[in-house]
Structure 1
Amino acid sequence: MKLAQLLILLLCFSSVSALAAKAGEQAQKQQTLLISRFAELALDCVHKEYPNIIKHMMTSQQDVRTPKQLYPAFYGCFDWHSSVHGHWLLTRILHKYPDNIYYDGIISSLNKSFTKENIAGELAYFNRPNTGTSFERPYGLAWFLQLTTELRQWNSIEAKQWLAILRPLEDKIVANISNWLPKLTFPIRGGEHSQTAFAFGLMLDWSVQVNDAAMEQLLTRKIITLYGSDNNCPLAYEPSGQDFLSPCIAEADLMRRVMNKEQYAVWLTDFLPSIPKDGSAWLVTANVVDKSDGKLAHLDGLNLSRSWMLEGIASGLDKNDPRQASIQRAASEHKKVGIDAVVNDLHYMGSHWLGSFATYLETQRGIN
């Protein structure tokens, strides 16, 4: 090769490398901005008591309490479960993005929430005779276990201190779940908080992280019993008008956790036979018409959860599976629409919770 040709090749390679480096820097900058946006949303609401909606059994006037009196740690973000996963969002950012501009503010916020007195108050509410064992089951309980999972995976002094404080409440929640699972004779297939497929996924991830073999076996057996023989899921009937979880996609994301790739590929063929093998579009994104309507705003969350669940499904298949292109295309399309909704102006009916869904997706929590 002549020297001139070699120089041209080197210049071309240098230009391509420079463009790739610039693109990488831009992508990193974009993600930094996104993560900061998500942090802002959680910081804005974790200690914002009102507006609020509570699920609280009262047997007399003496039981009337404010949200903060009922839930001294998790009274913000409109409801208990959103407060819990808002706190998870903040721990996730501390764990994965220690250079975030809100790092010190997040530490301060979590120190305010995670005190022995506050968690004792939370535990007292769970132990209250009229609370029962169904409080925030399964959705809120699953998110709490996601919170403690994150703290276990983050090797820091703060994480260890906060986890120690949260442990008594974790023990109570695990006991409630363990007592409930043997009694559950049917799956709950809706697209909102009561859905068992999504919650089981978070619970199973927790059991693996803490090496709780008994809970892992209990969950795995229940999952196989309730979902293992399902086929031809009616995806064409989705979504319902206020879903934030897809019954079919969530179940498919759950099952990859309890099967090897070969088993899962066969099961998925029977369960969702309509997934294309040619990379074509097959799943339409949802649109929210009125973001001030808390129920209608759920559809913004559906786009986000579908995206991370589709990524989970793809991870459960062999990389050469012919369905990969269509699955990843749908995941990308839903991610764009979902993240755009969080970045742009939100009503509090969405902003109090969508940051957590966006963080779960952007950081690939379900896979990593």
Structure 2
Amino acid sequence: MELTPDHAVRFATATLAHLGREYPYKMDLVLTGPEDAKPPREHHPIFHGSFDWHSCVHGWWQLLRLARRFPDLPIAAEIRARADAMLVPEKVMGERAFLDRPYSAAFERPYGWAWLLALHAETEAHDAPWAAALEPLAAAFAARFRAFLPKLTYPLRVGTHFNIAFALVLARHWAETRDPALVTLIDTNARDWFAQDRDCQAWEPGGDEFLSSALTEAHLMATVLADDFPGWFDAFLPRVAHQQPATLFTPANVSDRSDGKIAHLDGLNLSRAWSWRAIASALGPAHAVTPVAEAAAQRHLAAALPHVTGDYMGEHWLASFALLALDGLAD
């Protein structure tokens, strides 16, 4: 399965509908006094829709990428007009000011940080002023990564927003052409945390996970190790050519898509598809695992794509992960 104009229209139509939908909204906010109890748009002039801050950020990433991939679709003009109105310096400064609040050091760490960098990278691919407007926010989150990673003694392996490998895949993609010091820091940490991992048992998924702790780790190491990746991967998942551990090859069952946490499992299927495809690409066509990985990606895509829209608890974010699974991150 590959990204098509039909996918683009379906995803973008749903995302445009929720990008400015202010309620319901889950704030990431420590109240320091009664004056902090105000509507989300007053805290977040841009990212006040899509149920939460990070979903709004990657909703924008998704829309701009679709507009670039399919510039002649009528919906692309609407996307660009919305971006012209929202991705402007004065609104970015409002978002940037939120980071200076007390108790904000861990705001959206690390998932939202990484998605903001991905959004900034996407805006730079457009002939528009959006990237320049977002630059102060991107610089602030890159600085937060540089401050945080040296003190993160142990990796965060969980399959939710705190997963460090997923965040660093996105952050490293941004940093490759913009922040060599951050690339070095990411690569050093990844090697320290993961280089000696062997025979991963892949005890997953958890009941509310949208990331595979095993596959996101491998995905990151594919970018960090380059030509050394196949040797590391063969030791990390030594039986994967025989589809073991079986948990990595079985799409998750989603019992209730109206439950926001259980609906995460649709995202797990999509993020696994993205990681399996990235792993296959890094291993190359001659590796025994490559056709197995590609087939696993297709199974996970088939399980999840019909459910990207339909219930707001998934609809406010799943299209971004569907776009990753179908089109990847690279330009």
TM-score, scaled relative to structure 2? 0.95
Residue 179 of structure 1: how far off its partner (Å): 0.7
Task: State the partner residue of 2:294.
Answer: 328
**Offset of 1:336 from its aligned partner?**
1.1
The answer for unaligned runs of 5 or more in structure 2 is none
Paired residue type of 2:215 = I
AA partner of residue 224 (structure 1): R
Structure 1 stretch displaced more, 274-283 or 85-94? 274-283
Identity of aligned residues (%): 37
Q: Does 1:194 align with 2:167?
A: no
Question: CA contact under 8 A between 2:243 and 2:249: conserved in structure 1?
Answer: no
Match of 2:235 in 1: 270
What is the distance in 1 between the residues matched to 2:314 and 2:243?
35
2:279 is the alignment partner of 1:313: yes
Letter in 1 for 2:193: L
1:170 and 2:138 aligned: yes
Aligned residues: 330
Q: What corresponds to 1:221 in structure 2?
A: 188
- Residue aligned with 1:68, SS: helix
Look up the match of 2:148.
180
Aligned positions of 1:103-122 closer than 5 A: 103-122=76-95
Cα displacement (A) at 1:280: 12
CA contact (8 A) 1:279 1:324 kept: no
One of 258, 282, 285 as aligned partner of 2:251:
285
Which of 19, 28, 40 is 1:55 aligned to?
Answer: 28
Q: Tell me by how many angstroms 1:364 deviates.
A: 2.2
Separation in structure 1 between the aligned mates of residue 126 and residue 170 of structure 2, nearest angstrom? 20
Runs of 4+ with >3 A deviation? 277-282
The Cα shift of 1:65 comes to: 1.7
Counterpart of 1:234 in structure 2 is 201
Contact 2:239 2:245 in 1 (8 A): no
Query: Contact 1:149–1:209 (CA<8 Å) still a contact in 2?
Result: no
Question: What is the CA-CA distance between 1:269 and the residue it aligns to?
Answer: 1.3
Deviation at 1:258, TM superposition (A): 1.0
For residues 236 and 86 of structure 2, the distance between their equivalents in structure 1, rounded to whole angstroms, comes to 43
Which structure's CA Rg is the greater one? 1
1:255 maps onto 2:227 in alignment? no
Amino acid of the structure 2 residue aligned with 1:271: F
Given that residues 279 and 326 in structure 1 are in contact (C-alpha distance below 8 angstroms), is that contact kept between their aligned partners in structure 2? no
TM-score normalised per structure 1: 0.86
Q: Could you say if the C-alpha distance between residues 33 and 279 of structure 1 is closer, same or farther in structure 2, counting changes exceeding 3 Å?
A: farther
Residues 1:280 and 1:179: Cα distance change in structure 2 (over 3 Å): closer
Q: 1:64-103 residue pairs with structure 2 within 5 A?
A: 64-103=37-76
Query: What secondary structure does 1:256 align onto?
Result: helix
Q: CA RMSD in A?
A: 1.8
Cross-structure match for 1:350: 314
> Equivalent residue for 1:145?
117
C-alpha distance in 2 between matches for 1:285 and 1:318:
24
Instruction: Measure how far apart 1:231 and its partner are.
Output: 1.2
**1:176 partner amino acid:** R
